[in-house]
Amino acid sequence: MSFLELDRVAKQFGPQTVVDDFSLTVGKGEFVSFLGPSGCGKTTTLQMIAGFLDPSRGAIRLEGRDLTAMQPAKRGLGVVFQSYALFPHMTAAENVAFGLEMRRVPRAECRERVRAALEMVGLAGYEERYPRRMSGGQQQRVALARALVIRPSVLLLDEPLSNLDAKLREDMQIELRQIQRNLGTTTILVTHDQNEAMSLSDRIVVMNQGCIEQIGTPQETYERPASAFVSQFLGKTNDLAATIDLSATPRRLAAGSWSVPAPAGIAGPVTVSIRPERIGFGDAGIAAKIVTRIFQGNHWLFQCESECGPVIVIRQNDGQPQPAEGEAVRLAWRPEDMSLRGAGGVA
């Protein structure tokens, strides 16, 4: 039996369907991210799990128990909001203790659990600090401690890192993942940041216009996107028009002057999707010219104009000479590094 299950869940606001036919099973201790652009339904789905919104249809089950008619406070879930939602008139310790007091946890036990929770998130010694005297990262830690101190069955995170600057956000991602792994708490994260989803998640649910586009591990969704939307949304990619040469034996897949044996299950015009870092410069491949060369520290980014259209190439900065702007090059990649979309499906 799955730990958390969403069974064909949908949500409508009047005539508008915001989430449609959403089905997902989450294992105990798993970290799953809902990833997608603004308005795709990911926060609405999280709010239905939390109980802040009622599904229009479908069921949500936790360890086999139907949560649909259960009040949010009785679901045993921890929630961290984008705005942190700390009480400004309460100290850090009082904010963290709030959920325990509502559950009438004995005072001595409450104090010890609050102390342990603040220590866990690196805020030992901040017990008497008020939110207005804390940085954004510190407030985020208080909000996380408040959600975890009640020992929730599931931790729900609604873009909790979006208000932090880039460096602090990266640091908090590492800390959040370490805390989650140490506690083994089943966690659902809502984010529009693909790097955050790939850094933190065991699995990613890619959403678009209220529907699931793909569910998979970060590596699966990145390297084998199931749709054009996933390919374009999850990192940079190159989509090149290609054809199947049926007259060749065996059949061949060709994009410009690049050609390889065609895989089974694909027919007619196809799209080759290839990540920029999988493309190399060589003696064979599609003809191209370097239009722009950009140095980005640990790698170079090349914008190329090829016989198949615009192509982005990313090469690691290994100290070796790189092609110059205006230089003619050949672009090639290994067949196992590409994914195909065509009339016969995805390969």
* pTM (two decimals): 0.84
On the question of a cis peptide bond just before residue 152, with omega within 30 degrees of 0, the verdict is: no
> Which of these three, 177, 204, 228, is where a domain ends?
228
In the predicted structure, residue 288 carries a pLDDT above the cut 70: yes
Residue 82 burial (10 A CB sphere; 0-12, 13-18, 19+):
middle
Mean local confidence (pLDDT), 141-157? 92
Mean local confidence (pLDDT), 269-279? 89
Per-residue pLDDT band for 343 (boundaries 50, 70, 90) equals very low
Q: What integer pLDDT is reported at residue 256 of this predicted model? A: 79
Q: What integer pLDDT is reported at residue 211 of this predicted model? A: 96
Per-residue pLDDT band for 31 (boundaries 50, 70, 90) equals very high
Mean local confidence (pLDDT), 71-77? 90
* Stronger pLDDT, 127 or 83, i.e. the higher one: 127
- % of the chain residues with pLDDT over 90: 59
Question: What's 182's domain CATH number?
Answer: 3.40.50.300
Query: 200 and 247 share a domain?
Result: no
> Which of these three, 170, 193, 228, is where a domain ends?
228
Query: 215 and 240 share a domain?
Result: no
What tokens appear for 248 in the block? Answer: 């060749």
> Which of these three, 171, 196, 228, is where a domain ends?
228
Question: What's 309's domain CATH number?
Answer: 2.40.50.140
Query: 106 and 251 share a domain?
Result: no
Domain carrying residue 175: 4-228
* Mean per-residue pLDDT of the chain: 89
Q: What integer pLDDT is reported at residue 1 of this predicted model? A: 55
- The least confident of 48-57, 111-120, 174-183 is 174-183
Is the four-CA dihedral 44, 46, 51, 57 of positive or negative sign?
positive
Residue with tokens 């410069």: 281
Query: 269 and 207 share a domain?
Result: no
Q: What integer pLDDT is reported at residue 342 of this predicted model? A: 66
Q: Which of 98, 78, 77 is nearest to 88 (CA)?
A: 98
What tokens appear for 261 in the block? Answer: 């044996």
